[in-house]
Structure 1
C-alpha cells in the first residue's frame, strides 16, 4: 500500500481536485485518480469528496493506493554492472529498457533482470518496484542504482530527496551554444496542451535547475555535460528544448533528428552518493552506449 499526503498552497486554490492531483503526481492518470476518489481512497481534511471538489488553501489531502499483489517474474537478461555489494547494485542501463513493470512492459524491465540476478531487493516501493530508488526514462541510458535492503533504500531515498546526490548527464544537443557553461533556472510543469509532455511555464510548475558545460563542439551539434540540481520529469530534455537546442533524437521535444538517432542521446554519466551502510562518498561513472559513441564518431570524422 502506498500513502501520500500534501497540503494545498494558496496558488492552487480553486482547482478541481482530480486535475490538481494529476498535475502533482505525474505517474497517476486523471482517470485513475477519479477512480480513487469514487472508492473513497482520497480524502480532504479526513472527509471524502467527489471529483468535482475544488480545493482551497490549507486543505490536507490524503491518498491511499492499494497495490494488487502480483508476482513479478525474474527474467535472465544481460546487466551492465558497474558496482555491486551487499547493500546496493549500480548498473549502466541500456537505452531501450523500462525500469519497472508498467502497461505493455511486464517481463522485459530492469526489475525483472535484477530479480534474476539479486537474491533480495528492498520492499519499500512495493511488489512492482522492488529496490528502485530513482528512475531513468526508457530511452535514456546510464547509471541506475538499486537498493538490496530497506535500510539502504531509506538512506538513498533521503539523499535523493535532500538533493545531496550529485547527478551528471551527457547529452548531444542540436546547434551550438553561445556560452561555454551556464545555469538554466526555469520552472517545469505539465504542458497544458499535451498531458504527455512537460514544459517550462510560470504557473502550476516547480523550480528546475540545470547547470551545463560544453564537452565538445561540432559544426551543428554540441556535446554537453549537465548537472541537475532538481529532478523534474524530462528536465534536461525540456530545458534544452526551451533554449532552442533539443537533445538529438528527442522528437517529442522538437528535435529534427538529422543524425538519424534511434532515441534521445541522453546518458546518465556520473553519480556521486554516500554509501548507505558506511557513509563513504562513492563516485560511479558509466561509459556511453555504442549508439551514442557511434554518432559522436561520425561527427568527429566530419570535423577532419
Structure 2
C-alpha cells in the first residue's frame, strides 16, 4: 500500500453565495473540510475561509475526497439554525457519482444500516444487527463507457454512506480506494460530487438551493 501524502489543491476559494448569515463554497476534491490530526493536516477549507471571513463557523462536512457544495455559518445563531436542519434531516442534498459497471433499472433505494468497521478504520460496513439506520435513493442518469453516471440522494447522513451503499449495491464509486478495490485505481479522484444543497435561510426561512457543476 502506498503511504498517504496529503497534497490538497491550491486553488482559490470558489464562493457560490455569501450574505450576513452564511457562506456557501464549492469544496474541491482532495481538501479536508476541517483540520486533521497533526500540523501536516492543518490546511483545510474552514482554515482557508477563516483567512477571509474570521468569524466563519462549521455546520457540516464533506469527505476529503468528495467535491461539492458546503454551507458555513457567519454567526452562532445561523450555525444553530443550520445545524438543526441537518440534524432533523430538513435539508435537501443530491450527489452525482460515476459507479462501476452497468446498473440495472432506472432508480431504487438502498436501505442498509451502517457501523464503523473497527478493525479497518476509517472504513464503515453494513451491519443489520447493530448498524445505525441508513437510506439512500438512487437514479441512473446515463451509461458511460461501461460504467454508470448516477444521482444519489442520502435520506440519512451517515459517514461514508454513499460509498458503502454503492458498494453494497454491487456498483462501487470509481476512484474509491477504500471501498472499490480494483475500481479504485486508475482514476484521478473519487468520482463523487455534492452537486446540490437546499436549506432554509437561517434568518428569513426562505428556501435556498445552491448548486456546483460536476467537475468530471
Looking at structure 2, the residues matched to 251 and 162 of structure 1 have their Cα atoms a distance apart, in angstroms, of 31
Q: Confirm whether residue 240 of structure 1 aligns to residue 166 of structure 2.
A: yes
Residue 256 in 1 paired to residue 182 in 2?
A: yes
2:84 corresponding residue in structure 1: 158
CA separation in 1, counterparts of 2:119 and 2:86? 30
Q: Find the aligned partners of 2:148 and 2:98 in 1 and give their Cα distance.
A: 6
**What's the secondary structure of 2:120's corresponding residue?**
coil
Would you identify which runs of 4 or more consecutive aligned residues in structure 1 move more than 6 Å?
none
Query: Could you list the per-position Cα deviations for residues 240-288 of structure 1 after superposition, in whole angstroms to 9, with x for gaps in the alignment?
Result: 1111111000021024238721221100000011000110000011012
Residue in 1 that maps onto 2:6: none
**Cross-structure match for 2:48:** 113
Number of aligned positions between the proteins: 206
- TM-score for the superposition, normalised by structure 2: 0.90
Q: CA deviation at 1:192?
A: 4.9
Q: Residues 156, 246 of structure 1: CA spacing in aligned structure 2 closer, same or farther, 3 A cutoff?
A: same
CA distance in 2, matches of 1:257, 1:106: 27
Q: Give the greater-gyration-radius structure (CA).
A: 1
Q: Give TM-score, length-normalised by structure 1.
A: 0.65
Does residue 224 in structure 1 map to residue 159 in structure 2? no
Once residues 258 and 82 of structure 1 are traced to their aligned partners in structure 2, the CA distance between those partners, rounded to angstroms, is 30
SS in structure 2 opposite 1:216? Answer: strand
Match of 2:24 in 1: 90
Q: Check if 1:103 corresponds to 2:29.
A: no
8 Å contact kept, 1:211–1:226: yes
The residue that corresponds to 2:62 in the other structure is 136
Structure 1 counterpart SS, 2:186: coil
Task: Report the alpha carbon displacement of residue 106 of structure 1 after superposing the two structures with TM.
Answer: 4.5
C-alpha RMSD of the superposition = 1.7
Distance, in Å, in 2 between the alignment partners of 1:215 and 1:259 is 23
**Contact map agreement 1:78 1:113 (CA 8 A) in 2:** no
CA contact (8 A) 1:249 1:255 kept: no
* Cα pair 2:176 2:184 within 8 Å, conserved: no
Displacement of 1:191: 1.8
Map of 1:51 onto structure 2: none
Shift of 1:151: 0.4
